Amino acid sequence: MSVTEQAASALMNNYGERTISLVRGEGVYVYDDAGKQYLDFTAGIAVSALGHAHPKLVARLQEQVATLIHCSNLYRTPWQEQLALRLQALSGMDRVFFCNSGTEANEAAIKLARRYAYRNGAEQRREIVSLPKAFHGRTMGSLSITPKPAYHEGYQPLIPGCVTPRDYHSAVELIGENTAACIVEIVQGEGGVNVVPRSVLEEINARCKETGALFIIDEVQTGVGRCGSFLAYQQLGLKPDIVTMAKGLGGGVPIGAVLASKEVAEAFTPGSHGTTFGGNPLAMAAGLTVTEVVSEPSFLEHVQDVGAYLRTALEEFGREVSGLGLMLGMTVENAKAFVLNAATNGVLLTAVADTRVRLVPPLIVEKTHVDEMVRRLRS
C-alpha cells in the first residue's frame, strides 16, 4: 500500500472514492497535488462565496487568529454582536443565534419552533412539515425533515412528528393546529436545483400565518447573495418567522446562524440551547468580512448579471436549466459521467441527481470565467 493509500484508509468511507486531491486555491481556481488547475464551479458546495484566498478575508482571518480564536459563549465578544447586528439589518429579522453548520442551524430551528409552541400553551404543536426533495442536513432532527429514503437507511427511528407530503401543494393542507412549523428552501439545491413555485411558497406562508404554525426558510444554500439578493426569500416578499443560514456566510470557515422574530426568539431562554463553538471570534470575523463584501448592491447586481450569462451558456450543454442567480442546475443524460469529464477538462461541477448537474461557482466569478468554462467543457 502506498503512503497516500495508507493515509486515505485512515478515514471512514462515508464519502466514497475521491480521486482529486486539492492542495491550493486562488480566486475561482483550485489546484491539485500535481499542479493541475481547475475552474471551481462547486465552491466547496456553495460555500466559498468570495472564492479562494480572497485578500480581504485572508488578512482579516490572519489578524483574528493572532488576536482571539475562541473563548466560548461564557463571555461576550464584540465580533459576535457586530455580526448579529449586521444580519439583523440585512434580513429584517430581530434576533440571531450562531452555530457551526447548516444542519446545526436547522436542528436549532426545529427546537426553537417546538419550544415556542410549548411556551405558548400549544403543546400539541409538535409536527414539522417539510417539502418533497428537501435537504436540511444529516443530524437526527435535520435528517428527519429530509425525506430522501436513502439517507434514512439504518438510522431509524428518526424523530417523531416529521411529515412530508408527496407533492409541494399538499404541504399546504398538512399545516394545521398540530404543526409547530413548516420548513422550505426557495431553491432546493441538493434535491436537484428545483425552484419551488412561488405560488406554493406564498400559500405555505399564508397557511402558517392563518393556523399559527411557524414558517421556516432554510437559506443555508440559497443565502448570502447566492441567488442575487442577500437572502433568496427577499425577492418574493415572504415573511418567515425563522431563517437558517450557513455555507457562504463564513466564506469557508464553518459557521451557522438562526435568525428569528423577537417573539419566536424569546422561546430560547438561558440554558435552553447552546454550543461551545458557535459564534466564535474566528467565524464571526469571517462572517463580518463576507457580509461586508456581499451586501454591496453592486456585488449583488454582479451575481444577477453573471448568473444570467451562465444560464444562457448552459443551454448549450443541458436541458431544463433552472435556478436563481449563481445557483444553477441542468439536466444531462448522465450527471456522474458529465461531472467526471468536466473534471478531466479542468472544471469542477457536482452531480445532484442521476441526471442533474449543479453549478454554484464563487460569487466573484466573472463572465470571462464562464467563457473559459464553456471552452473547457466543449473540449
Ligand X SMILES: Cc1ncc(COP(=O)(O)O)c(C=O)c1O
Contact residues for ligand X, defined by CB under 6 A: 45, 101-103, 106, 135-137, 185, 189-190, 218, 220-221, 246
Nearer to ligand X, 189 or 287 (CB): 189
Give the shortest CB-147-to-ligand X separation in angstroms.
Answer: 13
Indicate the residue among 101 and 289 with the shorter CB distance to ligand X. 101
> Least distance (Å) from ligand X to the CB of residue 252?
12
Shortest Å, Cβ 218 to ligand X = 5
Q: Nearest distance from residue 196's CB to ligand X, in Å? A: 12
Is the Cβ of residue 286 or residue 313 nearer to ligand X in the bound state? 286
3-state secondary structure of 268: coil
* Least distance from ligand X to the Cβ atom of residue 134, Å: 8
How near is the Cβ of 186 to ligand X at its closest, in Å? 9
C-alpha span between 119 and 125 (Å, rounded) = 11
Which secondary-structure segment (H or E) carries 318?
none
Q: Are 328 and 314 in contact (CB under 8 A)?
A: yes
Nearer to ligand X, 136 or 369 (CB): 136
CA distance 302 to 296: 10
Helix (H) or strand (E) holding 163: strand 162-163
115 vs 226 by CB, closer to ligand X:
226
How many CA atoms does the CB half-sphere of 105 hold within 13 Å? 30
- Distance set, CA 33 to CA 21, 37, 186 (Å): 6, 10, 37
By the 8 A CB rule, do 182 and 216 touch? yes
Minimum separation from the CB atom of position 99 to ligand X (A): 10
Distance (Å, rounded) from C-alpha 108 to C-alpha 220?
A: 13
Burial class (CB in 10 A: 0-12, 13-18, 19+), 17: exposed
Looking at beta carbons only, is 44 or 51 nearer to ligand X?
44
Q: Note whether 116 and 148 are within 8 A (CB).
A: no
Nearer to ligand X, 137 or 325 (CB): 137
Neighbours of 292 (CB within 10 A): 13
